[in-house]
A and B are shown apart, each in its own frame.
Chain A
Amino acid sequence: MVVESSDGHRVGVSVQLDTHPKETRPYALGQIARQWCLEPDQLTQVLDSWGPDDLLAHLARFTKAELMPPTYRQR
Chain B
Amino acid sequence: MDSVQERTQSTSALPTREHPEPGVYGIFDVEIARGEYWFEDGEYVIRSTEFDVIAAGPTFAEALSNFGDNVIAFAVYLAELADPAENEVEMLGLLAPRLVRLMRSAKRAESRARRRRLLGVTVTLSRRRGDDASRWHRSGPHNSSLPSLA
Contact = CB atoms under 8 A, between A and B. Distances in A.
Please classify the interface of chain A as helix (H, G, I), strand (E, B), loop, or mixed, using the class held by over half of its residues. Answer: mixed
B87 A64 contact: yes
Given A16-B74, A27-B56, A9 B43 contact: no
Interface stretch (B6-14, B46-54, B107-115, B125-133): B46-54
Nearest to B42: A25
Nearest to B62: A20
Interface string B1-40: 0000000000000000100000000000000001000001
A46 interface: no
Nearest to B52: A14
A2 interface: yes
Contact of B49 (A12, A16, A26, A70): A70
B97 interface: no
A12 B90 CA distance: 11
Contacts of B17: 26-27, 30
Contacts of A64: 86-87
Interface of A: 2, 9-12, 14, 16, 18, 20-21, 25-28, 30-31, 35, 64, 67-72
Interface of B: 17, 34, 40-41, 43, 45, 47-56, 66, 70, 74, 77, 81, 83-88, 90-91
Report, nearest first, the 7 A-B pairs whose CB atoms are least far apart: A12-B85, A71-B49, A12-B88, A27-B45, A70-B49, A71-B50, A10-B85
